Amino acid sequence: MRPSQQRTDLGGCPVAHTDYRLDRPAFETYELLNAERELGPAVWNDSTEHGFLMVSRYDDVTALLREHDTLVNDCVNAFDPTMTTPLLPNSLNPPEHNKLRRVLNPFFSPAAVKRLQPLARQRARELVASIAARPDKSVDLGVDFAMIYPTELFLALLGLPVEDGEMFLPHVEAIFGGFFASTPEEIEASGKAVEAIMAYFAEAVEERQKNPGDPETDLVSRLLSVTIDDQPLEREQVLTICMTLMVAGLDTTRSALGYLFHHLATHPEDRKRVVADPGLWPKFIEEAIRLYSLIIQDGRMVAEDREVLGCPMNKGDMVWLGLAQANRDPRKFADPDTFDMDRENLNHHLGFGAGVHRCIGMHLARAELVIALEAWHEVIPDYRLTEGVELTERGGQLRLQSLPLEWD
């Protein structure tokens, strides 16, 4: 592959320079993405060392997500084609990908998610009760609720002790700090956190090797007992799967809670409607996942020289499949920047991706979100953003960095 930032052979494809790795004032990223979607069906972005091709209209994104023979998952980060850290199952391409998904899918089915619900409800209620008891009647929701809750449920999903959540949290923060890092310190801290978490998972794997649990309900035990093409998974693969599930599942759920609560705090009419009719939470969540897409890009690597929407691409170039832009494409969604949980194509959004790599954890994420929102609003139905705070959002993969709320 050759660095292609200074491309002169783009066949007239427009060029943009916005660096989407940067933190910005909250909600500014969506405005920039919307504007660049309208420059053309494909736009070359030269803000990174290698550059990448942005595809951002709904029909194009959904079609290209299905072209997994020529747009492959060898790298899934459009910002950096050299970042080939293996993620399982994400980094695999069909047919290997399907084989591993078949092993993992039962743990993320609606029935498996149902098994976790009593624990989720109990922990959500306990956390909300402790927050409601605060004498200052305020909380940074992004930190004190949205971080700990999904971490504990993730441990339960893997069959690991939820009490380990406290120990896990600083490492999880450091790992995410390293993804879109701007300083060598952040990168170093992230590397150390990965080592610590891998050591934690390694211990859990050893424990399961000595005392296997029920492979129907214990994910680590299942990974140790399963064969793919008559071969057991290697220990390294089992560890990588655990790490991937952590990376893919924790930050997303935390970030989603931040945007959902921000919307509810700033749109009392929507909040009152769902509080009065809690059966509407699933619709509320679906529309919020569309409007506040966290994963702004699904990166795909070009497997062989080809044209993408009229732009000549070389093997090894990166394509940015713009989930957030597609989710706000007026060609697909009427009045796309407005929250409307009654819209007729509510479920067509790409917030969980599409095609073979569609989010394996989406049923779990939805259930976790409904339970958290119900538990909170049963106890604190009225609240607002703390006055005078300026909210920022992280670049790379969106997240409100903090969300201070207060109530009477």
Binding site for ligand HEM (CB under 6 A): 76, 89-90, 101, 154, 244-245, 248-249, 252-253, 256, 289, 294-295, 298, 323, 351-353, 357, 359-361, 364-365
Nearer to ligand HEM, 13 or 325 (CB): 325
In the DSSP assignment, the letter for residue 113 is H
* Beta carbon of residue 253, minimum distance to ligand HEM (angstroms, whole number): 5
Is 136 buried (19+), middle (13-18) or exposed (0-12) by CB count in 10 A?
Answer: exposed
* Beta carbon of residue 382, minimum distance to ligand HEM (angstroms, whole number): 25
Q: How far apart are CA 17 and CA 23, in angstroms?
A: 15
* Beta carbon of residue 38, minimum distance to ligand HEM (angstroms, whole number): 23
* Beta carbon of residue 385, minimum distance to ligand HEM (angstroms, whole number): 21
Is 216 buried (19+), middle (13-18) or exposed (0-12) by CB count in 10 A?
Answer: exposed
Contact predicate 29/296, CB 8 Å: yes
**Residue whose beta carbon is closest to ligand HEM:** 361
C-alpha distances (whole Å) from 61 to each of 20, 141, 286, 369 are 18, 33, 19, 26
* Beta carbon of residue 188, minimum distance to ligand HEM (angstroms, whole number): 26
Nearer to ligand HEM, 21 or 137 (CB): 21
* % helix, strand, coil for the chain, step of 5: 50, 10, 40
Nearer to ligand HEM, 224 or 243 (CB): 243
Nearer to ligand HEM, 13 or 245 (CB): 245
* Beta carbon of residue 244, minimum distance to ligand HEM (angstroms, whole number): 6
C-alpha distances (whole Å) from 30 to each of 271, 273, 290, 326, 398 are 23, 26, 12, 11, 10
* Beta carbon of residue 255, minimum distance to ligand HEM (angstroms, whole number): 7
Nearer to ligand HEM, 358 or 384 (CB): 358
Closest by CA to 374, choosing from 125, 132, 149, 119, is 125
Nearer to ligand HEM, 92 or 274 (CB): 92
Please state, as a whole number, how many other Cβ atoms lie within 10 Å of the Cβ of residue 203. Answer: 11
E strands along 109-169, which residues? 138-140
Nearer to ligand HEM, 265 or 367 (CB): 367
